Structure formats: C-alpha cells, structure tokens
Amino acid sequence: MSDTLSALLDMTRTLGKPEMEYVIIGEGNTSCRIDEDSFWIKASGQGMHMIAPEGFVAVRFAPILEMLERPPGDLAAQKAVMQAAKVDPSVPVVPSVEVTFHAMLLAEFGAQVIGHTHALAVNRILCSSRAQQFATQRMYPDEVVLCGPQSAFVPYVDPGLPLALAIRDSARRYADEHNEAPKVILLANHGLIVLGQTPTEVLNITAMTVKAAHIFAGACAIGEPVFMSREDIQHIYKRPDEIYRRKQFVQR
C-alpha cells in the first residue's frame, strides 16, 4: 500500500469514528491526489470507520473533468463514464457518486486531500433557515484561522453531477472574491466539504467547523450569535503570527 493511500485510509477512519458523529453507515467520502493524472476516492457504499484499502478506487481525472464540461445524457451514461475512468478496470468497487466534485476540487482549486462528511452538529444548522448565515459569518479567531474568512455555500442540489456543477460555481465565486480557494464548502440539507493540503489539515478544519457549529447553535439557543466584523476577520486572517500558526496546523 502506498504512503498516499495509507494516509487517506487513516484520515477516513478517523473521520468515521462513531464518537465523532461526523458520519454513519455509508455516509461521506474522501479523496486525495495520486499524481497529475489520477486520484484515490472512497468507493460507493463503503463505511468510513472500518474501511479497508480495498474500499478505495483510483480514478483518472480526465474522463471525470470532461463529464463536467459535457454532461452525459442520463445517469446510466454518467455511471459508464465513472466506471471507464477507473485506473484498474478489474477493481470490483465503483467510485462514489460524488467523484465529480472531488475531481473538480482537486484539479481546479489546488486541494491535495478532501474530506466530505455529514457531521451532526453542522447538519443541524444546514437543515435550518440559518444555514447561509452560519456559512458567511465568523464568531471567534480560531474559526477564522483554520476555516477561512467565510465558507462557500451551496443551496440544496441533487447529489452527483448537478451538485458538482453547483459546487464549482460557488467555489469560483469564492475564489474571485477572496483570491484563494475556500477551505470549507457547506451544502444546505447535506453536509460539509473540507479542502486541505494534508490529511491533518482536513481533520483540523473539520473539527473546527464542528466546534463552530456547536457554538453557533448554543448562541442561537440563548439569544443571537455575535459575529466578528469584516475588519476584525481580515485582521486575524492576515496577521503574520496567525499565518504561521495556520501553517503548523497543516503539518502531517
């Protein structure tokens, strides 16, 4: 087993621990870049906590990215492209239905590792009328340092190719506004996506997003959340000492 797959395996199992309440049964998916041409992704239907190396499948970028530019006519045609994109056609498992957004985020937005979960604390908010408010505001400095000045937000869209296209639009708008890729993408009525350079960074950002969700829900329960100002957010995010700290949180 390669070092890349081993690291992805460990990260996936950690995200899947029942006590974390990030996913249950076959929820969620993860991926990481192998090289310029291919990436690992969790296979469809695999539980994250006890996943084995055989629960991942290597996929080529090109056919999946082409599908985003020229969507096939129906779901059956999309599945055929996903099957044909496997590096090893003999592998029995099939890529997650979300393979399209993983390929796009790895290829276009500079991520090396991606973790997508349905964290209970976060979904309490994403299934409420306050979902976009949570995505676009920040409440405390470490949320800013790890999760960025905002999260990209995507209203509910059917999983699969339609969702990948909506995520691409939202991530591009974010990048245009902030001159960098989002670290967190929040999907209404669905879950969160974290983009990182290492598994450690994905785990840290996921944990901080979950903490922020708990704080937000608690603040709503006893009154109204008090958000940081845009000026304070930018000040914290660009402070040299906080930039240094953020780099430490990326380390393996």
Q: Does residue 247 sit within a domain?
A: no
Residue at 236 is within a domain:
no
Average pLDDT, integer, range 128-153 = 98
Q: Is the Cβ–Cβ distance between 137 and 227 less than 8 Å?
A: yes
Average pLDDT, the chain: 96
Say whether pLDDT at 10 is over 70. yes
Q: Please say whether the beta carbons of 40 and 5 come within 8 A.
A: yes
Which domain covers residue 109, as residue numbers? Answer: 3-128+150-197
Instruction: Give me the CATH number covering residue 103.
Output: 3.40.225.10
Q: What is the pLDDT of residue 161?
A: 93
Can you tell me the mean pLDDT for 130-137? 98
For the chain, percent of residues with pLDDT exceeding 90: 91
Which residues, including other chains, have CB under 8 Å from residue 203's CB and lie 6 or more apart? Answer: 11, 14, 15, 115
pLDDT (0 to 100) of residue 252: 60
Domain membership of residue 134 (yes or no) is: no
Token duo for residue 182: 């989002």
Per the domain annotation, does 228 fall within a domain?
Answer: no
Report the C-alpha gap between 209 and 118 in whole angstroms: 12
Q: What is the mean pLDDT of residues 126-131?
A: 98
Closest CA to 193 of 204, 201, 185: 185
Per the domain annotation, does 56 fall within a domain?
Answer: yes
Residue 29 one-letter amino acid: N
Say what percent of the chain tops pLDDT 70.
100
Average pLDDT over residues 205-217: 98
Residue type, 208: M
What's the token pair of residue 215?
Answer: 């704080």
Q: Is 222 a domain residue?
A: no
Phi/psi of residue 207, each to 5°?
-60, -40
Comparing C-alpha atoms, which of 139, 117, 106, 118 is closest to residue 34? 106
Residue 138 lies in a domain: no
Query: Roughly what angle, to the nearest 10 degrees, separates helices 61-69 and 99-108?
Result: 100
In a domain, 14, yes or no: yes
Q: Which of 27-36, 66-75, 117-126, 212-221 has the lowest mean pLDDT?
A: 66-75
Number of folded domains in the chain?
1
Q: Is the pTM of this model over 0.75?
A: yes
- Give the C-alpha separation, 129 to 132, whole Å: 8
